[in-house]
Amino acid sequence: MSPIQKNMSELDTLLMELPRSQLFDAMDSNKLNKEELERALDDHYLMTLAFVPSLAQFLETLPKESRFENLRQVMRENLNDEIGKGETESHKKLYEDLLRENFGKVPRRDSVPTFILEYWEQFRKLVEQSEPLIVAGAIYALEHQMAGMGGQFVSIQKQLAALGLKDTGYFQLHIDLDGNPEHGHAALERKAAIDAIKNDKDFKDFENGSLKMAELRKKTFDKVYKDVKGE
Ligand SMILES: [Fe+2]
Ligand SMILES: [Fe+2]
């Protein structure tokens, strides 16, 4: 194992061991009622809308150096999956289908809650003002956390099932698409990042981006929990 691979596997362990939001613990033990889950998924759906513009922005601003070429390619494939140029419809549409089938009409809110606007803004700033490897780390943390490793989407599926509702495909797709240890977004991005990382500063950037994003996500999911519990 090269020193960079070792650093990366330590980062993976670190990300896996970070505390996760109480929102997912509540879902694991079926503590949300239907209205609360509906609101949590509305909030989460809105959170997901920050991803595509940030990924597109990353691709636009990534320097044209050969060490970034693999990263550019896997991030472009990721973007294509998101916008429906891959094997499935756009992820936005899939999420809307899930909300419509389980809870009725879409769109669901007249206005976006302030804490979601803040999440969008902080996400945008992180992407706009950062070195490429900080942004790559941030995006990596999202793919990493969503799937098997953080187990968040499995918790959502559990809560849906406990209420007699169903995952119409959105969450399972992401568990498969992001979490596959060889072909998943996280795995591909890890490999491409290893190609792009040339020194300690690069790795530190990647790690900082990952940890910042993980923290931002946790904080925001904690706010979702407060939102659904009316606190
Ligand atoms: Fe997605
Ligand atoms: Fe993904």
Which residues have their alpha-adjacent CB atom under 5 A from ion ligand 1?
91
The rounded Å distance from CA 226 to ligand 2 centre is 26
Q: What is the CATH number of the domain that holds 221?
A: 1.20.910.10
Q: Which two tokens stand for residue 129?
A: 């003002």
Mean pLDDT for 97-108 is 89
From the CA of 176, the nearest ligand is 2
- What's residue 181's pLDDT? 81
C-alpha of residue 51 to centroid of ligand 2, in Å: 10
Say how many Å lie between the CA of residue 172 and the centre of ligand 1. Answer: 11
What average pLDDT does range 133-137 have in this prediction? 96
Our CA angle for 142, 80, 51, nearest 5°, is 35
Q: What distance in Å separates the CA atoms of residue 129 and residue 218, rounded to the nearest whole number? A: 21
What's the CA-to-centroid distance between 11 and ligand 1, angstroms? 23
What is the C-alpha to C-alpha distance for residues 146 and 170, in angstroms, rounded to an integer? 12
Looking at residue 162, what is its pLDDT?
97
**CA 177–ligand 2 middle distance (angstroms):** 6
Tell me, what's the pLDDT at 150? 54
Return the residue matching tokens 């209420």.
163
Q: How far apart are CA 145 and CA 4, in angstroms?
A: 21
The pTM assigned to this predicted structure is 0.94
Q: What digits encode the pLDDT tens for the residues 146-161?
A: 544 457 899 999 999 9
Q: Which residues surround ligand 2, an ion (CB under 5 A)?
A: 143, 178, 185
Tokens 């698409």, located at residue: 177
pLDDT score of 149:
47
Split at pLDDT 50, 70, 90, the class of 1 is: confident
Domain that holds residue 77: 3-229
* 145 confidence band (pLDDT: 50, 70, 90): low
Least confident of 9-13, 55-59, 104-108: 104-108
pLDDT over threshold 70, residue 10: yes
| Counted domains in the chain | 1
Q: pLDDT per residue over 186-200, tens digit each?
A: 889 999 999 999 999
Tell me the backbone φ, ψ of residue 114, rounded to 5 degrees: -55, -40
- For residue 217, is pLDDT > 90? yes
